[in-house]
Amino acid sequence: MPQDCIFCQIAQGNVAADVIYQDDEVTAFHDAHPQAPTHILIIPNRHIRTLKATGEEDIPLLGKLLAVARDLAEEAGVAQSGYRLVLNTDEQSGQTVFHLHLHLLGGRRMGWPPG
């Protein structure tokens, strides 16, 4: 768990964030630079660099990230209108924080294709 990883630090409570959900496997918090009225990040507590670094043993964890996103979308009130989940993976996707995270975006109409 790299000490220079900002998301590890948030998961451990060493760096402040607006945490809205945490259990022994995942943490969710509001994005510091929201791109939509609702913009929540859901991360594994364990440091995983990108989706490419996951394996068969991580399938339950990956499913959990989706399930937590689904439940938080309900709580945030964006489920009925709809929302987008984004998982940027490595450089060309625009990934800037190299600790696996799922974006939950909602509260406005999304464009397609994404930029």
The three-state secondary structure class of 29 is strand
Choice between 16 and 113, CB closer to Zn ion = 16
**Per CB under 5 A, 8 contacts Zn ion:** yes
Phi and psi dihedrals of 96, rounded to 5? -115, -25
**Per CB under 5 A, 101 contacts Zn ion:** no
Chosen residue from 1, 32, 53, 59 binding ligand 5GP by CB under 6 A = 32
Active site residue 101: yes
**Per CB under 6 A, 17 contacts ligand 5GP:** yes
Chosen residue from 39, 99, 101, 103 binding Zn ion by CB under 5 A = 99
> Residue 88's binding partner, choosing from Zn ion, ligand 5GP, none, with beta-carbon cut-off 5 to 8 A by kind?
ligand 5GP
By the 8 A CB rule, do 57 and 48 touch?
Answer: no
One symbol per residue from 66 to 105: x for binding ligand 5GP (CB under 6 A), - otherwise; what is it? ----------------------x-----xxxx--------
Output the DSSP codes for 46-112.
S---SGGG--GGGHHHHHHHHHHHHHHHHHHT-TTT-EEEE---SGGGT--S-S--EEEEESSPPPS
> CA dist 58 to 26, 43, 106, Å?
13, 13, 27
Instruction: Work out how close the CB of 113 gets to ligand 5GP at its nearest, in angstroms, rounded to a whole number.
Output: 17
